[in-house]
């Protein structure tokens, strides 16, 4: 009986809803830099982590669904094609340098 109660409690704890991410808080500030950079295959773990997200130079850990919602809410395109630079680590090991010359 104790096992049944323990399993029920663990099940109910696992079903708790996560608080929603406030995507618009990133867009409200003037100097926020958001980068959504593709991670090349096979390093994207078979599509489970397709993008590296950088917000003001810090890595944000978002799943694929959260990344799509963020991109849509901010009007950012999702680039899925890899380049030689991305295969060398540009954009997913560290954020890209986006300063204008």
pLDDT tens figures, 12-69: 665 555 666 555 555 555 667 888 888 887 777 777 788 888 888 888 888 888 888 8
Instruction: Tell me: pLDDT of 95 over 80.
Output: yes
Model-level pTM?
0.61
78 or 27, which is more confident? 78
HSE-up of residue 21 (Cα within 13 Å, Cβ side): 15
Q: What is the pLDDT of residue 80?
A: 64
Domain ranges of the chain: 32-101
What average pLDDT score do residues 76-94 get?
76
Q: What secondary structure letter does DSSP report for 65?
A: H
* Element containing residue 74 per DSSP (H, E): helix 64-74
Decide: residue 20, CB within 10 A, 0-12 exposed, 13-18 middle, 19+ buried.
exposed
């Amino acid at each position: 009986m104790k096992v049944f109660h323990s399993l029920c409690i663990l099940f109910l704890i696992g079903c708790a809803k996560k608080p929603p991410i406030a995507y618009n808080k990133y867009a409200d500030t003037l100097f926020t830099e958001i980068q959504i950079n593709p991670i090349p295959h096979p390093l994207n773990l078979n599509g489970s982590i397709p993008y590296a997200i950088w917000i003001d130079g810090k890595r944000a850990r978002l799943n694929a669904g959260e990344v799509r919602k963020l991109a849509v809410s901010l009007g950012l395109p999702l680039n899925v094609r890899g380049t030689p630079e991305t295969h060398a680590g540009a954009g997913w090991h560290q954020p890209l340098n986006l300063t204008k010359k």
